[in-house]
Structure 1
């Protein structure tokens, strides 16, 4: 079995575009959840900066993540947010290192 990977994708909305960014990311979630290998795709907003969003993702494998990156849902998000973000999304990919309690020590 392939090793899972965790993604932290940060997006900064341009001023006045916060609602569009949130709405677009929320709307994409069901389609992404249905993609093969999607184990987690969870949206968060910064507590003090409402224009900063973070998507925390877990994929069953790098191949599943690669397929997601080429999928229709992500293309639609990219099109919808093409002029709404202050910069391209910052996407970081991590290798899980479970520690301690099996439920609490991993995403």
Structure 2
């Protein structure tokens, strides 16, 4: 077992705020991927319901994700949340398989 942490966050744009949500969330990608503990940080938009967004993230450890949550761009997340989108579900999961890819 590794210390690696997987995070899956489901968000929903508020009525009429899909493009604003997409732009804001997309702006989190570059600074987050530059953080030392970030392994993967992917943003998805649902094909059938474009108001639904999902982040899929992998971090070297919970401690690194905790540092991420204190970064200025994540503080902006807190300011925008509930004005443009809502966080529907946040799942923190421990990696129990080997983290090495076979691809």
TM-score, with structure 1 as normaliser: 0.84
Query: Which stretches in structure 2 are left out of the alignment for 5+ residues?
Result: none
What is the Cα deviation at residue 82 of structure 1?
3.8
1:5-62 CA-to-partner distances (Å, cap 9, x unmatched) read 1000010111210101110111111111111200011000111110000000000001
Query: Which stretches in structure 1 are left out of the alignment for 5+ residues?
Result: none
Paired with 2:94 and 2:36, the residues of 1 have a C-alpha distance of 19
Paired with 1:82 and 1:10, the residues of 2 have a C-alpha distance of 14
**Larger strand fraction of residues:** 2
Q: Report what 2:36 is aligned to.
A: 36
Paired with 1:89 and 1:31, the residues of 2 have a C-alpha distance of 23
What is the Cα deviation at residue 77 of structure 1?
2.3
Q: Report what 1:69 is aligned to.
A: 69
Q: Report what 1:9 is aligned to.
A: 9
What is the Cα deviation at residue 89 of structure 1?
4.2
* Number of equivalences: 101
**RMSD of aligned alpha carbons:** 1.9
What is the Cα deviation at residue 80 of structure 1?
3.1
